[in-house]
Amino acid sequence: MALQRLRVLIVGCGLSGSAIRHFLAEKGALSRFDLHFWESSDRLGGRFATSYFTDQESGRVAFTDTAAQYLTRFTEDFGFVFDRLEEDRVLIRIPNAHHVIEGMKAEHHALKHYVPPRGYQSVVEHFLTHSYGESASASSAPAKVNLSRRLISLTPSMTDHTVAVVGHESSGNEIRDTFDAVVLTTPVPITKEILSRTNLLHSKVQNWSPDTVDNTVESFLSGTGSYSQRYAFSAFYRLNKHSAIALNSHIANNNGIMVKYDFEDDMIRFVSIENYKQGYGLPLDHESSKVKEFTEGDVMSILLHSSIPYAIDKQQQQTCSSDGTSITNTQQLERVVQEFLNKIHAKYFPFLHKEGHHSFSADKAVLNFWDISQITRPTHSILPTGNHLALLSPNQEGNQVKIILGGDYMRGSNFENCLHVAKGISDRLLSM
Ligand SMILES: Cc1cc2nc3c(=O)[nH]c(=O)nc-3n(C[C@H](O)[C@H](O)[C@H](O)COP(=O)(O)OP(=O)(O)OC[C@H]3O[C@@H](n4cnc5c(N)ncnc54)[C@H](O)[C@@H]3O)c2cc1C
């Protein structure tokens, strides 16, 4: 008789959520689960976010990664994941990363650095679709992903040990469903909001023994730090003959540097010619000193990250009004966009400014605000070693844990940390 598959809802299609499926697939265990993903936004990736631009004339696609920039392999813990992703060309190693990225922190433990040649969203897409360790059968089919579906609340049943959930779709539909287990990979403020709707903030965290008697999830989550905030600005330029030559000389004159941290500027902290992720500006092969150059018709993609103080200052201006309510001021946003374009045209890449044009413009420009950027202090410090997830016990016995919390806030905002969290959650699901 076929075994009943565990019906699991994973909330959030970012790195942590998608990597849970990856680890189950690695174990050849997908057929034991009926996995469902709910994602509130209309795209995959979360903070593994990519902005795309298709040039109408040539059909060429360019991209910028608006949040995560490069992935560092600090340990061999997940060497097999990096190696697989490299084999499948989902990630490429940056040769001589310190020569390509100016101002990169000298991380003594860093073994290698990687970037995705098709953008970070493609890493999440890969985690959601590949089936290592499983035969290509219906049981290892891609995950069931619902975009634009927001989890609103969850209610554990004390009798049959299932969890009832309510979601809203952007179309206005309300969704009600029941799962054997629910995993929240949402950032802390959102997780708190969801749990508070059904009074679950007072549930116990089963795998946490604090010094005080208070081991509620509310107390557990209050141990985490805040999230930093940043603007990310993407600008795409179709190169003509003149600007392609100027860009190649700019890179050569800067000793091949494609990316830099700017610690002198009040507004900008990070500048990247994103095309290096597709090999532009890098040596054509190991032996050659010749680099892949830009030519007419290529699209140059630029990414700027603002400094944190600039983002906070602009957001305060944006949301302050005389009566204290929040407002969205489009004129203010337009001014921010012009300030970013001004930096590109007047400071970093003056050759992109077209003679005779009074205002600065790009073929496409996108402004993102990362309200929830990177966690300042993870919960790791308050968890016993080896635990990178929180198991909620809505009842006293606590032996029927069906709600699991995990996300980058458990260990810190980077790739390896999210893999640790996802691996811990997949192991827990396997033990159910
Ligand atoms: C500006 C910036 C730069 C960074 N640079 C780097 C870097 O260089 N290297 C590196 O390794 N890391 C970097 N990071 C950190 C890295 O991007 C994150 O740690 C990682 O992407 C977090 O993944 P996650 O899945 O835990 O969370 P998220 O990516 O936030 O995923 C959570 C998902 O849940 C969804 N969601 C939220 N609420 C709901 C709901 N109610 N219902 C359904 N879905 C919901 C969200 O839309 C999101 O997709 C950077 C992050 C930022 C913002």
Distance 158 CA to ligand 1 centre (A): 32
Q: What is the mean pLDDT of residues 144-148?
A: 96
Distance 14 CA to ligand 1 centre (A): 6
Among 113, 186, 410, residue to substitute to test ligand 1 (most atoms within 8 Å of Cβ)? 186
Beta bridge partners of 271: 260, 304
Q: Look up tokens 């950027």; give the residue.
A: 373
- 70 in ligand 1 pocket by Cβ < 6 Å? yes
Q: Is the pLDDT of residue 271 over 50?
A: yes
Give residue 356's pLDDT: 60
Q: What is the CATH number of domain 6-50+121-226+377-430?
A: 3.50.50.60
Beta bridge partners of 364: 236
Q: What is the overall mean pLDDT for the chain?
A: 89
Give residue 325's pLDDT: 46
- 127 in ligand 1 pocket by Cβ < 6 Å? no
Contact 280, 273 (CB under 8 A): yes
Q: What is the mean pLDDT of residues 317-326?
A: 52
Which two three-digit tokens encode residue 255? 């000793």
CA distances (Å), 147 to each of 13, 52, 127, 168, 169, in order? 9, 18, 16, 11, 8
Interacting residues of 240 by C-beta distance below 8 A, sequence separation 6+: 296
Q: Give the right CATH number for 230-370 from 3.30.410, 1.10.260, 3.90.660, 2.20.25.
A: 3.90.660
pLDDT digits (tens, 9 = 90+) for 40-92: 999 999 999 999 999 988 888 999 999 999 999 999 999 999 999 999 999 99
Q: Is the pLDDT of residue 377 over 60?
A: yes
SS3 404: strand
Distance 15 CA to ligand 1 centre (A): 7
Q: Look up tokens 């990247």; give the residue.
A: 272
pLDDT digits (tens, 9 = 90+) for 299-314: 999 999 999 999 998 8
Pairing of strands 390-393, 204-205: antiparallel
Distance 420 CA to ligand 1 centre (A): 15
Better-predicted residue by pLDDT, 288 or 369? 369
pLDDT digits (tens, 9 = 90+) for 328-350: 677 788 899 999 999 999 999 99
Stretch(es) of the chain classified as CATH 3.50.50.60: 6-50+121-226+377-430
- 420 in ligand 1 pocket by Cβ < 6 Å? no
Q: Which of 29-33, 201-205, 206-210 has the lowest mean pLDDT?
A: 206-210
Contact 368, 231 (CB under 8 A): yes
Decide: pTM greater than 0.85. Answer: yes
Give residue 392's pLDDT: 87
Distance 422 CA to ligand 1 centre (A): 13
- 191 in ligand 1 pocket by Cβ < 6 Å? no
Helix axes 15-26, 415-430, angle to 10 degrees: 50
pLDDT digits (tens, 9 = 90+) for 92-117: 998 788 889 998 877 667 789 999 99
Q: What is the mean pLDDT of residues 320-324?
A: 46
Beta bridge partners of 395: none
- 41 in ligand 1 pocket by Cβ < 6 Å? yes
- 413 in ligand 1 pocket by Cβ < 6 Å? yes
- 178 in ligand 1 pocket by Cβ < 6 Å? no
Contact 247, 77 (CB under 8 A): no
Give residue 321's pLDDT: 46
- 185 in ligand 1 pocket by Cβ < 6 Å? yes
Atom of ligand 1 nearest to the CA of 12: 34
